[in-house]
Structure 1
Amino acid sequence: MTTHIAATPRDLAKAERHDALLREAARLFAARGFDGVSLEDLGAAVGITGPAVYRHFRSKRALLGAILLRASEDLLAGGRRVREEDDDPHRCLRDLIDFHVDFAVTDAEVIRVHDRELATLSDDDRHRVRRLQREYVELWIGVLQRVHPDRTENDLRLRAHAGFGLINSTPYSVRALREIPEDAEVHDILSDMAYAALAAH
C-alpha cells in the first residue's frame, strides 16, 4: 500500500514560487533577452531577493532550461492526448491545431524566448528540448499522413513546419498592431487558416 504524505503549507508555497519564477522569467526574457535580465530582476518579480532564486534553480541558465523543457514536454504530452482521443483523421488534425494554437496564444512569450535563446541553453538542456520537439513534429507528421496518405514524407514534413511557422509567429507579432485583437479572435483566425492550409490537397 502506498502512503501519500500531504504537502505542507511550506511545500505549497515553494511550488507556487517555483511556478511564478517560470512565468515571470519567461516574461522578462521575452521582453529584454536573457542577458538583459539579472537575478535581482527575477527575484524582484516574485517578491524575493536575487540570491534566493538559487533555492529554486541552480543558475539563471537552468531557469531558462526549465522554461523551454516544460513547454516542450507539455506540447508533446498534449499532442499525444489529442491523437489518442480522435479516430477521425480530419477531426484529429483540427483538434491538434486547436491545441497548438491555444499554446501559442497563451504562451507567446515562451515562443519568443525559444526563438531567441535556444542557443543559450546548456548542451544537455538543448539536446533534450530538440529531442522532445522532434517527437512532437513526428506526431504531427503521423496525423498528416492519415489526412494525406498519398503525400511523401518530405511533403508532410514541410506542411508541419509551415503550420508551426504560421501559428507560432502570429500571437506575439500581433502585439504590434494598433488595435490588439482579443485572444479568442486570434485563436479562431489562426486555427481556421492553419487547418485550411494543412488539410488542402
Structure 2
Amino acid sequence: MAVPTRNRRVEILEAAAALFAERGFHGVSIEDIGTAVGVTGPALYRHFRGKEALLSEILLDISARLHDQGAATAALPPQDALNALLTGHIEFALGHPALIRVHERELHNVPETARRQIRRLQRLYVEEWVSVLRDLHPAVAPVRLRSATHAVFGLINSTPHSAGELPADEMAELLHRMAQAALAVSGD
C-alpha cells in the first residue's frame, strides 16, 4: 500500500483556498473542491463539516500563522523586529496571494464565532507591530502607529493585484522599502 506523500486535510484546504480565490465562496461547491483533490465531494465531510468550516479553517490558519510570526519577533531589538515583521508579511503576501484574496472577499461568509476568533488574532498581530513601532517611536500615539500599521498592511496586501509584474525578489525589496518609508513617516 502506498503511503500518501501529502496530508489530505492540507491538500483540501489549499484546493479550497485556490477555488474560493478564483470563483468566490458561493461560486464553489463541495463537489468542485473534491474534484480538485481527486475525491468525491461527500468524501470531504470526513475532514470538514462543510464549506463554511473549510473557509473558517483557512482564515483562522492565516491569522494564527501571522500572529505567531509576529509574536516570535518580541525578543528582537526593535529595528530587527520591524525588519522581521516586514519580511515575514511580505513573504506571506507574495507567496500566498490566493489566501489574501480569500480573506479580503470572504470573511463575511465565516460563521460569527470563527469570525470573532479571526478578528482577535488579527488585533493581536497588529498590536505586535504597534509594540515594535512604539519602541522605535516612543513619542508617537499608539493610535497613529496602529493606523500606520493598517496602511502598510494595505500596501503589502495589494500584491495579488500586481503579482507577476515584477520578479518576486524585486517586488519584495520594493515593498520592504516602501513600507519602511511609510512607517518612518508615521513616527514624525
Q: TM-score range by the shorter chain?
A: over 0.9
Distance 1:82 1:103 in 2: 16
Alignment of 1:49 with 2:40, yes or no, is yes
Structure-2 residue corresponding to 1:4: none
Deviation, 1:82, is 2.0
Residue in 1 aligned with 2:30?
A: 39
1:172 to 149, 160, 171: 160
**What letter corresponds to residue 15 of structure 2 in structure 1?**
E
Q: TM-score, normalised by structure 2?
A: 0.93
Q: CA RMSD in A?
A: 1.6
Q: Please, which runs of 5 or more residues in structure 2 have no aligned partner?
A: none
Task: Give the letter for the 2:160 counterpart.
Answer: Y
1:199 deviation in Å? 2.1
Aligned partners of 2:160 and 2:92: how far apart in 1?
12
Q: Which runs of 4+ in 1 moved over 6 A?
A: none
TM superposition score normalised by structure 1? 0.87
CA distance in 1, matches of 2:92, 2:156: 10
Q: Distance in 2 between matches of 1:53 and 1:15?
A: 16
**Aligned letter for 1:173?**
H
The residue that corresponds to 2:175 in the other structure is 190
- Residue identity matched to 2:65: D
Does 2:90 align with 1:105? no
What's the offset of the Cα at 1:14?
A: 9.6
The amino acid that maps onto 1:36 is G
Corresponding position of 1:19: 10
- The residue that corresponds to 2:127 in the other structure is 138
Q: 1:148-167 maps to which residues of 2 (within 5 A)?
A: 148-167=137-156
For residues 66-110 of structure 1, the C-alpha deviation after alignment (integer angstroms, 9 at most, x for no partner) is 0000010000111111222x12x1221112111111111111111
Q: Output the CA distance in 2 between the equivalents of 1:137 and 1:180.
A: 28
Q: Which amino acid aligns with 1:145?
A: R
- Unaligned 5+ runs, structure 1: 1-8
